[in-house]
Structure 1
Amino acid sequence: MSVSNPFHRTLVSSHSYSLVLALFCLLVLANYAQIKYHEQQQQTTQRLRIAKHNLLPTCTDTVYTKSSRKQNTNHTFINRHEYPICKFEKDGPIPVIFIINGRSGSDATWATLSTLAGGKSPIGEHTGENKVKAMEFLGTMTEQEGNWWVTEHLCQFAHQHCDKPLAGFKWKPFRDSWELPAAQGMLKKLRDFKEPRIKVIFMTRNPLDVQISKYKHRHSKMSLDAHCRTNDVKCIENMKKMGSGMHLPTDELLDTLEEAYDNFDYFKSSLKEFEIDHITTTYEDLYGRDDAEEWMRIFKFLGRGPTENLTMTNVVNSFDLAPTFVNHHNVSLANYAEVRDLLIGTEYEELLH
């Protein structure tokens, strides 16, 4: 006859109780997790429902997308569903991306284009004003983020300047940042986006003149503004004074000019390969001719602005920024003979004037 062991019964009972308690705790945790999941889903649905009825006003002072990461509010790509929905207005500003390097006449050209189109609008360097800033900005975004940002930013910028004919920003093309995933995403979006078509202008300038302009601003003994207003006589005089008799270093000049031409070809080919609808122009065609045909060609492409009977007198009279570049290299360069002799016989000889 077996004898029941009270200690054994107590141990079994204790184990059973622990098992039941553990199962109960697991059920409670699972139920809690399910409740939290449904709460989050409801919150997301609610935010989306709010956003759906929260269209960005036709005119607004707020642009959430000045930077992809740092906003004037806490909006980022991650919580983009909380943004007021931005839609391009049918009769709103034409959205434009102006692809152009520094010291190539971008501000003066944009001011003139927008003025002649119906009203001057601002333009900024929203992807970075130099190589470092461009890498910092575009390097923080994925391809998906860049793809989203480019049209979202243009749309919000257009709403901020709702009473202007054009709304756009400069994209300074640097080869390293151009090849980043975010930039590639932007280019794909420019190719695919059709409502409305984003107008892309690619503009270049004589790279020798670009180097002279850069040298003037970097090595001036007096403080120079980036540009002069047409009525600022003192600024214009200082600019022209500092732009005469400069000694341009020639040690790396040929390499610099070669790199500039290589980059021109690279960016042109890239826009073509991405099948992006764009127009290519030059500083020389806009400012070095007696007629305004090139200006009208751009206005035809934009679909806004004068497309016939425009004269260079009309163009010059609309200038907000004064031209301050010295037109003749034998005046702007103290070592003109050295530069001339270096370039003669090369493909860059045509850059002399």
Structure 2
Amino acid sequence: MGLQELWFILIAVLFLGYFVLEGFDFGVGILMPVLGRGPDTPERDTRRRAVLNTIGPVWDGNEVWLLVAGGAMFAAFPEWYATLFSGFYLPLFLILIALIFRAVAIEFRGKIDDVAWRRRWDVAIVAGSVVPSFLWGVAFANIVRGVAIDADKQVTSTLFDLLNPYALLGGLLTLTVFTLHGAVFLALKTSGGLRTEAVRIARILAPVGLGVGGVFALWTQLAHGRPWTWGAVAVAAAALIGVVSAVYADREGWAFAGTTVAITAVVVLLFGSLFPDVMPTTLADGVGLTIENASSSHYTLVVMTWAAAFLTPVVVLYQGWTYWVFRARISVDQIPPSIGLLPARPGRS
């Protein structure tokens, strides 16, 4: 295996880590108003605070996987990075804005004890979770499908070209599976009424995820897949079937393992279908990007490989230790009461 192949695999692994870890963060953000629904009362706010506390110690660390994936892409395959971020400028810009608003909302939500203040940040948390969940699926589906790249390696596809049926199905898949992943995570991390409600939501979402995932996986395999990626399709289907069975049996640990395996299989299917391309072109006279014509020099890849060999184990061990320290379940009873939610100030809705 050459260094170009190695770094293609490593970038796939980095995005896999991001989707698995940040995926349940997105799901928790999407489900926060569902598990904390009701009138503006201290009890509702306590439920929402408990939901957010399940990801409080880890959500910002999970986002590091995206930063490292983007940095690795920039260093190992600069042509891929340049073409992707210029051609997909608007979707990636929307993802960035959503992630910024979500991060600020999580940190600022509890700074002022005011109904209107928290309500607005709650909207930002939900929007900042829904938008990336959907657009990541749209982006990666388009990467696998191919876009119009001309002879100058410039993407000429418009935003409406990117919103094709296959890409929209990819967006629906990531939105559904991340929400299911978050529901299962909440069932695993909470107790009492919150856990019961999370399990109920997971039971609704699991069959939907199985249906959407099955259609997308078959479409990908038949249109873009390799013979060996049929294995990834089979694993994804088996994992989602296992999730349906596990949530109905109240085995949230197995269900979380199932959603993790399903996300892994879909990432393997996408990157396996893409290889050795990194951005194929749909134009007859265009120039598609491959691991050969998009990579950095051999010396750059060697230096990156040595750096990754030393630093990656440290990062993984530290993040694993973080999850171990904060492994306990959270209940509403453990959330200290706030001073008391104040009514909205005059002139504020």
**TM-score over 0.5 for the alignment?**
no
TM bucket, shorter chain: under 0.3
Q: Which has the larger radius of gyration?
A: 1
Which structure has more RCO (C-alpha within 8 Å, separation ≥ 6)? 2
When normalised by structure 2's length, the TM-score is 0.24
Bigger strand share = 1
